[in-house]
Amino acid sequence: MSAFVLNVIGDGAQPVLFAPLGLGRATVLSPGRAFDLPVATQDSMPLLAAARSFAEGLKLDINVVATAKRKKKLLIADMDSTIINVECLDELADMAGLKPQIAAITERAMRGELEFEAALRERVGMLKGLKLDALERTYVERVRLNPGAKNLLATMRAHGAHTMLVSGGFGFFTAKVAEAAGFHVERGNTLLDDGVALTGEVGTPILGRQAKLQALEDAVANLKLDYAETLAVGDGANDLAMIQRAGMGVAYHAKPVVAAAAGASIDHNDLTALLYLQGYSDAEIVCV
């Protein structure tokens, strides 16, 4: 077995497209959707650039992946815009008639242009007085699991992985999303209220970039894992530290600063792609 593979994911993916690279026989993970090609060289950047140039204009996710300990024993995932379809804080803001103002701050924070904790306090402060029933309405009306989420969690759990949802968003939503998707554990920030409405404050300490990294490090220690056995996925700047520390760090439909720094990027496919990145074939994927 080669030490690395070129992993290609996307509808219509065919090994023949990459024949000029001379990489050898493909291992098909999903017919017409995902395959691996063996990589002999350790200097994978020129190869990856060449492969991506061959696929320019096609909706294919192409990454070089190490084959050692490829199926991970820990998944740590961001929630907003990763496991679910929205930024919950922005949707709460919509309930208050403040979405344009708050979403603009969210976008800058996720791009790494603003310090996360300060940006979170500013946005939550703007929601002071929002009635508590807005949280439930936001969840019911706006929050949906992203395609592939349930299959990702069910498959990794079936193969013995521990799964964690760690969000800079709020515990009200992480608890519900974790249960719906199938995570073992969840962590999120706390919106403070007076029993009727939000006070405009967030509980401390705030769970941000460093806390996400700490969650990964604590899990590795508690589960007695090697970092090579871990997968971290997210889309925003506050996910960068855990993505860069994990054995497989994945930028999922991510902001440019995250995609540039992550070891792997998924830009075109759903969360099932995280299984193909780990070498799972269709026969091994648990569909729920």
- List the catalytic residues: 78, 80
What is the Cα gyration radius of the chain?
20
Quick check: helix, strand or coil at residue 227? helix
Q: How far apart are CA 179 and CA 92, in angstroms?
A: 21
Q: Which two tokens stand for residue 207?
A: 């769970």
Q: What count of other Cβ atoms lies within 10 Å of the Cβ of residue 247? A: 21
Tell me the sheet residues that pair with 192: none
A 10 A CB-CB count for 141 gives 11
My answer on whether omega of the bond before 205 falls inside 30° of 0, hence cis, is yes
Per the CB < 8 A criterion, the answer to whether 126 and 93 are in contact is yes
Q: Residue 127 — φ and ψ, nearest 5°?
A: -95, 5
- Does an H or E element contain 256, and which? helix 256-261
